Amino acid sequence: MAKEKSMVLVKPEKMELQEFEIPEIGPEEFLLKVEMVGICGGDPIEYRGLNPKTEYPLILGHEVAGVIDKIGENAKDKYGVEKGDKVSVEPYIICGECYYCLNSLYQFCENSKIYGVNISSKKPPHIWGAYGEYMYGAPGSKVHKIKDDVSPKAACMSSVIGNGVRWVKRLGEVQFNDSVVIIGPGAQGLATTIAAKEAGANPIIIMGKTRNPEKWDLASEYGADYIIDTDKVDNPIEKLENINNGNKADVVIETTGAGPMMELGLDLVRPAGKLIVIGTNGFDKSKLTTDKIVFNEIEVKGGLGQSWDTETAVDIINSQKYAIEKMVTHVYPLEKAKEAIEFYMNNNGEAIRVAIKP
């Protein structure tokens, strides 16, 4: 049988290039030829051995775009794609039957498997992650067709944009002319900026520390009306009120996970407004002044992943209204996957998104 190569995380912080047989595909399955896979902010958790649900050896990678190489007849009908079509595949493999799947919350599927996160390469057909030339597509996947002329750099960002759509529209319930503050100009903050622009938010204000001016440039290109550099502004709350006709924001979306930034989020949102917290901090017990939540009746929501929001994200990507490919600033070959993920973890802000191209 023909073989393919994947980069395997054999144990935390140790990777090896290994060969696997390309599997036969059943009626409900597909085989994806990987064009590009982004290094998600969660990948370092598995890389470092910090996810108790991960079983090694593991092939990382779930922010993936590629081409359908083989597909079963039932899968073809279900996903509306054929051999040769460009697609993006969501991380989740869902059961479709549990409480969460039946209530539009499939990111909490009670039987969920996640590509590149919690399925060991020991389990046939082995290629369960996208750090490889091919990835196996299981029944229960979520597959989205990408236009032929869309860059793989943009296509692999579908889940990231889907996150932004979820935080803005579904959790933040942003309406036309609502004021939105986004804390953190990284990939998630930039995706949220695009989603806020699509929702008709006004003004859109992105806030954070300057380490990479390219992030600010992209924020403006994607629709941010104002930039507030917390390294240069003594009082960001006063700055916001000056911009927003004396008012605080209707919705604040905090993407960094840093305790001081979450506290700042409470100060930036108006009474009865919404604070969406999506940044993680490794379960650090950050202190927050909860009286601000009580006395201002602030609605605080956590945001995990996309659920029925990637459809909208793919529409945005396929429209090519935004140069989403610019978010992918560094691309590494497959054999340098270890170098890529360590650069992603340790760079000093020069990278927005790092990707691997097999």
pLDDT-derived band at 182 (thresholds 50, 70, 90) equals very high
Whether the predicted pLDDT of 123 surpasses 90: yes
- Tell me whether domains 3-150+320-357 and 162-302 share a fold: no
In CATH, the architecture of 3-150+320-357 is Alpha-Beta Complex (3.90)
- Name the residue ranges covered by the structural domains of the chain: 3-150+320-357, 162-302
The pairing of beta strand 299-302 with beta strand 269-277 = parallel
Is the pLDDT at 79 greater than 80? The verdict is: yes
- CA torsion 330-336-337-340 (nearest 10°) is -40
Average pLDDT over residues 286-310: 93
Its pTM surpasses 0.85: yes
Query: If you average pLDDT over residues 44-56, what whole number do you get?
Result: 92
Query: Other CB atoms closer than 10 Å to residue 148's CB: what's the count?
Result: 9
Cα–Cα distance, 127 to 234 (Å, whole number): 51
pLDDT at site 287 = 86
In this predicted structure, the answer to whether residue 282 has a pLDDT above a threshold of 80 is no
Provide the percentage of residues in the chain whose pLDDT is more than 90. Answer: 90
Cα–Cα distance, 88 to 2 (Å, whole number): 24
Q: Residue 286's pLDDT is what?
A: 81
276 is written with which tokens? 């969406």
Asked whether the predicted pLDDT for residue 137 surpasses 90, the reply is yes
Q: Mind listing the pLDDT tens digit for each residue in 142-180?
A: 999 999 999 999 999 999 999 999 999 999 999 999 999
- Give the residues across from 183 on adjacent strands: 207, 254
Q: Pseudo-torsion of CA 95, 283, 169, 294, nearest 10°? A: 130
The CA-based angle 7-12-14, given to 5 degrees, is: 45
Burial of 24 (0-12, 13-18, 19+ CB in 10 A): exposed
Is the separation of the CB atoms in 146 and 318 below 8 Å?
A: yes
Which pLDDT value is given to residue 156?
Answer: 98
- In this prediction, residue 350 carries a pLDDT of 86
Mean pLDDT of the chain, nearest integer: 95
Spatial distance between the Cα atoms of 262 and 256, rounded to a whole number of angstroms: 8
Q: Which fold has domain 162-302?
A: Rossmann fold (3.40.50)
